[in-house]
C-alpha cells in the first residue's frame, strides 16, 4: 500500500534551511570517503575545512588528570554525583557563571568586568545565536550581516526563526573592512524592499577572515545601530584565538567607553568551542546588556542547557588562574607558529593571504589561478583542489564572499606532519599550473580583475549553494 506523504510535515522539516543537502558537501564526502592518514592512506584527502582548535589538548588533558576532584566520574569526585546529577536550574551553577564571566574578562584583557548574573547558557554559539534571534526578531524581519560571513549563520540565524539575512558586501580592495557606507547601503536597500531591519550581526574576530575589528570600526557600527535604533549582536567566539597584535577588543569594552550608546541594543554571543577547542562540550553563552533580552534568553535556555556535569568541570578549570593564564599564552603562541608556517610556506610559491592575526584559519587569495573570474571559475578551481590536490578547503562563496577566488583554509585541526604534506601538495599544484602557462610565469603577481558575483537580494541558499555549508554538522562530525 502506498501512503501519501504530502504536507505531512512542517515547513521547517521539509525546507532546506539546514543546508546539509548542498553540493558543498561534495567536499566533505570526498574527505569522508578517502581520509588522509600518514601511513595507511597517504594519498587521501586532508581536512582543511574544519575550524577546530586541536593545538592545546595536551594542556587540558594534563589539567584534568591533575584535578580528578573536578570530574564527578572519578573516585575523587563521585561524592558530588547526587548534587550535580539532579541539578537542572536554567540559571546554571553559580560557580560556572562566575568562572565563565571571569574567563571572558581575562580574554578581553581585563578591560571590562562581565557580570556573572548576565551569563545565560546555550548549546554552543549555534544555540546562542539562534536564541538571540528569537529574542530580537520576528519571522520576515532581517539582520544585516557583513560578508564574507560564517557559513553556519544561514542555519543558525534563519532556519527555525524565519528571519532573513541581508548581506553587507565588504570588499577586498578595502581588506574586507566593514564600512559605514556599506552598512548604510544594505540598510537602505532592505528598507526599499520593505524589509524590517532589526539589527546587525558581526563576528569579531571574523570567520572566515581571521581579522579583528579595530575600535574605530566598532564605534562606527555602534553609532550606526544607535541612529537606526536597531540591535548589534557580536559573536566573539574566536576572542582568545588572537595570536598577534593588535589585541582583541570586546564590544563590551567599546561601549563602556562611549557615552552615547544605548546598551539595550548590544548583545554578545560567546562559546568555548574555539577558544578552548571543546566544541563537543556545547558551552555557548548569551551576554546581553538588555535586561528583557537576558531574562527571555534565560527562559529559552531550557532548550539548550549546558550539562551540569560540564558546568561543574569547567567551573573548576576556569577558576584556576594559573591554568587559564598559561593556556591562553600557550594557545596563542602555538596558533601564531602554525599560522606562520602555513602562510610563509604559501608565500614561497607566490600565494598570498589576507593579513590576519586571529582565528583558526586564513583567507587564501587564489584569484590569479581562476580560469574565469566568476562563481563558476571559483567552483571549478575548488573541485580541482578537492579531487586532484586532495585538500578540502572551503570556497569563498560558502561564506557569501562577493568576489570569486578566495578560499578559507583551516590550520589548527591537524598535526605538524600533516601541515607539511598539505603545504607540499599546494606548492606542487601551484608550480604545475605555472608550468602549464610558461608565457605567463608572472601571473601570480598580477592584479586580478575586480569582478563580483551579482548581488542577490537576500541571502538565498538556492542561488549559491555552496555557501550554505554547515561545517559543524553532527552528520559530518560523526564520521570525522
Ligand X SMILES: Cc1ncc(COP(=O)(O)O)c(C=O)c1O
**468 belongs to the catalytic site:** no
Q: What separation, in Å, do the N-terminal and C-terminal C-alpha atoms of the chain show? A: 39
Closest among 249, 264, 170, 248 to 209, alpha carbons compared: 170
| Among positions 30, 46, 48, 51, the unique one binding ligand X when judged by CB under 6 A | 51
Q: Are strands 164-169 and 46-47 parallel, antiparallel or unpaired?
A: unpaired
| Among positions 22, 241, 271, 397, the unique one binding ligand X when judged by CB under 6 A | 271
Which of residues 50 and 369 has its CB atom nearest to ligand X in the complex?
A: 50
The DSSP 8-state label assigned to residue 143 in this structure reads E
Beta-carbon-side half-sphere exposure of residue 105 (alpha carbons within 13 Å): 17
The contact mask relative to ligand X for 91-120 (x = CB under 6 A, - = no) is ------------------------------
Tell whether omega for the bond before 200 is within 30 degrees of 0, i.e. cis.
no
Chain centroid to Cα 39, Å, comes to 32
CB of 412 to ligand X, least distance (A): 12
Using CB under 6 A as the binding rule, the residues of this chain from 120 to 139 that contact ligand X are 124-126
CB of 50 to ligand X, least distance (A): 9
| Annotated active-site residue in 98, 102, 198, 274 | 274
Cell numbers at residue 165, please?
539575512
How far apart CA 386 and CA 60 sit, in angstroms, is 33
Which of residues 288 and 429 has its CB atom nearest to ligand X in the complex?
A: 288
The alpha-helical segments, DSSP class H, found in 285-415 are 291-300, 308-318, 321-347, 375-384
Using CB under 6 A as the binding rule, the residues of this chain from 193 to 232 that contact ligand X are 203, 207
| Among positions 17, 92, 108, 279, the unique one binding ligand X when judged by CB under 6 A | 279
| Among positions 147, 273, 290, 331, the unique one binding ligand X when judged by CB under 6 A | 273
Using CB under 6 A as the binding rule, the residues of this chain from 235 to 254 that contact ligand X are 235, 237
Q: Site size for ligand X, by CB under 6 A?
A: 16
Place of cell 548576565: 118
CB of 279 to ligand X, least distance (A): 4
470 binds ligand X (CB under 6 A): no
172 binds ligand X (CB under 6 A): no
CB of 270 to ligand X, least distance (A): 9
Q: Are strands 142-147 and 119-123 parallel, antiparallel or unpaired?
A: unpaired
284 binds ligand X (CB under 6 A): yes
Q: Are strands 283-288 and 391-392 parallel, antiparallel or unpaired?
A: unpaired
The DSSP 8-state label assigned to residue 5 in this structure reads -
CB of 273 to ligand X, least distance (A): 3
CA distance readout (Å), 311 to 71, 84, 107, 238, 296: 10, 9, 19, 20, 21
The contact mask relative to ligand X for 378-417 (x = CB under 6 A, - = no) is ----------------------------------------
**274 belongs to the catalytic site:** yes
Place of cell 557606507: 181
186 binds ligand X (CB under 6 A): no
Under 8 Å between Cβ of 112 and 250: yes
Element (H, E) at 283: strand 283-288
| Annotated active-site residue in 141, 235, 275, 365 | 235
Q: Which residues bind ligand X (CB under 6 A)?
A: 51, 124-126, 150, 152, 203, 207, 235, 237, 271, 273, 279, 284, 471-472
Which residues are identified as catalytic? 150, 235, 237, 274
Amino acid at each position: 500500500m502506498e501512503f501519501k506523504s504530502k504536507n505531512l510535515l512542517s515547513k521547517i522539516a521539509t525546507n532546506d534551511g539546514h543546508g546539509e543537502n548542498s553540493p558543498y558537501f561534495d567536499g566533505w564526502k570526498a574527505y569522508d570517503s578517502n581520509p588522509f592518514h600518514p601511513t595507511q592512506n597517504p594519498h587521501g584527502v586532508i581536512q582543511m575545512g574544519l575550524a577546530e582548535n586541536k593545538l592545546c589538548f595536551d594542556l587540558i588533558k594534563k589539567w584534568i588528570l591533575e584535578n580528578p576532584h573536578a570530574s564527578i566520574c572519578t573516585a575523587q569526585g563521585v561524592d558530588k554525583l547526587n548534587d550535580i546529577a539532579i541539578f537542572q536550574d536554567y540559571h546554571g551553577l553559580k560557580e560556572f557563571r562566575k568562572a565563565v564571566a571571569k574567563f571572558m574578562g581575562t580574554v578581553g584583557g581585563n578591560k571590562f568586568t562581565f557580570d556573572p548574573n548576565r551569563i545565560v547558557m546555550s548549546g554552543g554559539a549555534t544555540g546562542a545565536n539562534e536564541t538571540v534571534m528569537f529574542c530580537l526578531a520576528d519571522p520576515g524581519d532581517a539582520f544585516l550581516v557583513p560578508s564574507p560571513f560564517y557559513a553556519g549563520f544561514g542555519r543558525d540565524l534563519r532556519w527555525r526563526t524565519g528571519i532573513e539575512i541581508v548581506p553587507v558586501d565588504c570588499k577586498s580592495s578595502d581588506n574586507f573592512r566593514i564600512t559605514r557606507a556599506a552598512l548604510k547601503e544594505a540598510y537602505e536597500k532592505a528598507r526599499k524592499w520593505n524589509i524590517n531591519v532589526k539589527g546587525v550581526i558581526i563576528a569579531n574576530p571574523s570567520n572566515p577572515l581571521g581579522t579583528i575589528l579595530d575600535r574605530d570600526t566598532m564605534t562606527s557600527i555602534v553609532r550606526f545601530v544607535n541612529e537606526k535604533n536597531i540591535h548589534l549582536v557580536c559573536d566573539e567566539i574566536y576572542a582568545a584565538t588572537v595570536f598577534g597584535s593588535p589585541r582583541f577588543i570586546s564590544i563590551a569594552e567599546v561601549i563602556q567607553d562611549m557615552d552615547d550608546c544605548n546598551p539595550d541594543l548590544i548583545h554578545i554571543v560567546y562559546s568555548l568551542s574555539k577558544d578552548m577547542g571543546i566544541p563537543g562540550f556545547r558551552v555557548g553563552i548569551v551576554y546581553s546588556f538588555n535586561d528583557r533580552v537576558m531574562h527571555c534568553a534565560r527562559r529559552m535556555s531550557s532548550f539548550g542547557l549546558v550539562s551540569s556535569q560540564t558546568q561543574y568541570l569547567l567551573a573548576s578549570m576556569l577558576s584556576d588562574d594559573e591554568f587559564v593564564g598559561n593556556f591562553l599564552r600557550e594557545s596563542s603562541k602555538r596558533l601564531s607558529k602554525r599560522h606562520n608556517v602555513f602562510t610563509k610556506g604559501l608565500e614561497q610559491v607566490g600565494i598570498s593571504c589576507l593579513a590576519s592575526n586571529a582565528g583558526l584559519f586564513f583567507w587564501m587569495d587564489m584569484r590569479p589561478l581562476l580560469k574565469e573570474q566568476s562563481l563558476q571559475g571559483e567552483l571549478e578551481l575548488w573541485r580541482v583542489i578537492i579531487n586532484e590536490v586532495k585538500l578540502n578547503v572551503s570556497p569563498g562563496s560558502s561564506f557569501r564572499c562577493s568576489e570569486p577566488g578566495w578560499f578559507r583554509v583551516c590550520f589548527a585541526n591537524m598535526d605538524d606532519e600533516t601541515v607539511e604534506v598539505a603545504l607540499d601538495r599546494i606548492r606542487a599544484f601551484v608550480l604545475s599550473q605555472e608550468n602549464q602557462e610558461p608565457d605567463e610565469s608572472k601571473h601570480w603577481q598580477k592584479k586580478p580583475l575586480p569582478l563580483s558575483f551579482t548581488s542577490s537580494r537576500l541571502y538565498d541558499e538556492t542561488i549559491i549553494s555552496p555557501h550554505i555549508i554547515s561545517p559543524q554538522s553532527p552528520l559530518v562530525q560523526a564520521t570525522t
